[in-house]
């Protein structure tokens, strides 16, 4: 592909317009709130706000829940099965959206998400809690892919970046209010009250939102023009394969939490399932970063794996080595959420005419800086909160890079395939988190076990952050292969 092609205003500013000839012209794309799009915008925003609030409020209560259920040893499974299950949910939702439009999997994901809160909140064993989190992961995967598919079909190219920016903005208030409010409820009352209370306060507003999603065009109801015929003939990965990959991811996450024979066996089985079946859920050529969609999918996995591993290890460093108060760490997360949304707005409004692969490279360049800052934060002479700043800087980079990858994937997807593409992106994101987190955890434990942790274990964190530079730099270097005009090799 010529590097100059995506820089044209007609391609960079209206990404995907050429691939979707049925899109309205610029005069119809003036605003997300214009008459043709108002119902879709209101419905999507409400869904993202409510599901975001539930997702962010639940996570801080999990340690208390597993402790109360005498299942602390299984905490890695409870915490990790959500990500593993969302991999299956993404494939299920994407396949369903291509067959019948995005509305049905979106509605099913929303309602299942409410039901899983009840399953978790009434848990009598840690295994029931794990089952609730697993079902919640399926619901989250379905909802995420369905919304991405719906945005691809409901809006013309120019408004897609604006819509993705709005979806990110809808998480600001939940990120500010959800975790501390959930902590107060769990402390004053019970962790069960968090789950059951969320189910009670979200079910009625979500039921009220559902009619908005039934309006024509509100959720890309029957797909783009010509999608039906393509959907009938498109090859879709068997759901059994997705289930095997999801189970493998859960086993791998459980396995890296310790060194006993049982966990080692679980890790080996999980990795075997991932190696055998994961390639069947990804586009051909993903492993070699073939130009176009395969490269875009690979970059999603690398970037999300690096970001979420950084997000996991920085708070641990602040707590165990730098002894930073939990409230300060919480402020870093709050700042990261706000900065992510701000960066998302910038990419959707100020950078909309730039070549998307270059916006992606720039965002991941900022993530490289964030990882370096985290590394500096492990040094004894640096200010204790230095590593916390890395979370904010990384959020700025990913707030630009993540929606750029989504838009590139839409540009590479013909009508009738957006759902499957969304599932592939979701699969890559979750696999990236499992693999990068697993390798980083193994390196971390190896450094500690070998006495290479340094002062207070800081050396082990330094090794992890050095490792995270690899996927970040790879994304910067390979971003050009995901350009909007790229074809598959």
- pLDDT for the residue 20: 40
Q: Give the residue carrying structure tokens 């959800």.
A: 178
Predicted local distance difference test score (pLDDT) of residue 30: 64
Q: What is the pLDDT of residue 23?
A: 44
- Position 451 scores a pLDDT of 64
Note the pLDDT of residue 2: 36
Mean pLDDT by 10 residues, the chain (489 residues): 34 33 45 76 80 75 79 68 82 80 82 91 91 89 83 77 78 75 78 88 71 55 43 56 86 73 85 90 91 95 93 81 73 83 86 89 97 94 89 95 92 76 84 85 79 67 95 97 66
Residue 320 pLDDT: 74
Contacts of 205 (CB under 8 A, 6+ apart): 46, 50
- The contacts found for 371-377 with CB under 8 angstroms, 24 or more apart, are 371/306, 371/310, 371/465, 371/468, 371/469, 371/472, 372/465, 372/469, 374/310, 374/313, 374/314, 374/317, 374/461, 374/465, 374/468, 375/462, 375/465, 375/466, 377/314, 377/317, 377/322
The confidence score (pLDDT) of residue 484 equals 64
């Amino acid at each position: 592909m010529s590097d100059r092609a995506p820089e044209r205003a007609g391609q960079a500013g209206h990404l995907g317009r050429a691939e979707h000839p049925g899109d309205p012209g610029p005069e119809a794309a003036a605003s997300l709130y214009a008459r043709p799009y108002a119902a879709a915008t209101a419905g999507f925003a409400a869904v993202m706000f409510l599901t975001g609030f539930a997702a962010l409020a639940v996570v801080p209560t999990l340690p208390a829940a597993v402790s109360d259920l005498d299942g602390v040893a299984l905490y890695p499974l409870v915490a990790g099965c959500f990500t593993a299950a969302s991999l299956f949910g993404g494939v299920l939702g994407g396949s369903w959206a291509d067959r019948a439009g995005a509305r049905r999997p979106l509605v099913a994901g929303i309602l299942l998400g409410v039901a899983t809160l009840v399953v978790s909140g009434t848990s009598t064993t840690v295994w029931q809690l794990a089952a609730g989190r697993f079902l919640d992961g399926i619901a989250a995967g379905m909802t995420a892919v369905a919304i991405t598919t719906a945005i691809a079909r409901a809006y013309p190219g120019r408004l897609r970046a604006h819509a993705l920016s709005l979806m990110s903005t809808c998480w600001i208030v939940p990120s500010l209010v959800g975790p501390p409010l959930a902590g107060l409820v769990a402390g004053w009352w019970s962790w069960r009250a968090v789950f059951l209370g969320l189910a009670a306060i979200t079910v009625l507003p979500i039921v009220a939102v559902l009619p908005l999603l039934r309006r024509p065009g509100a959720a890309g109801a029957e797909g783009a023009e010509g999608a039906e015929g393509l959907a009938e003939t498109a090859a879709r990965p068997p759901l059994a394969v997705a289930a095997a990959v999801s189970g493998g991811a859960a086993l791998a996450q459980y396995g890296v939490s310790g060194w006993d024979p049982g966990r080692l066996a679980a890790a080996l089985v999980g990795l075997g399932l991932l190696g055998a079946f994961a390639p069947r859920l990804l586009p051909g050529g993903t492993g070699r970063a073939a130009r176009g969609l395969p490269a875009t999918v690979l970059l999603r996995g690398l970037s999300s794996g690096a970001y979420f591993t950084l997000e996991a290890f920085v708070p641990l460093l602040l707590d165990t080595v730098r002894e930073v108060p939990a409230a300060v760490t919480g402020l870093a997360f709050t700042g990261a959420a706000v900065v992510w949304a701000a960066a998302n707005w910038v990419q959707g409004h100020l950078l909309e005419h730039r070549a998307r692969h270059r916006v992606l490279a720039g965002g991941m360049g900022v993530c490289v800086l964030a990882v370096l800052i985290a590394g500096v934060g492990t040094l004894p002479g640096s200010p204790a909160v230095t590593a916390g700043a890395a979370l904010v800087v990384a959020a700025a980079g990913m707030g630009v890079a993540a929606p750029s990858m989504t838009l590139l994937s839409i540009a590479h997807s013909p009508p009738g395939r957006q759902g499957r593409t969304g599932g592939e992106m979701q699969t890559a994101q979750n696999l990236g988190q499992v693999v990068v987190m697993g390798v980083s955890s193994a390196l971390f434990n190896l450094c500690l076990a070998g006495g290479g942790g340094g002062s207070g274990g800081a050396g082990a964190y330094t090794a992890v952050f050095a490792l995270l530079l690899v996927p970040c730099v790879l994304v910067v270097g390979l971003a050009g292969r995901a350009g909007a005009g790229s074809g598959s090799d």
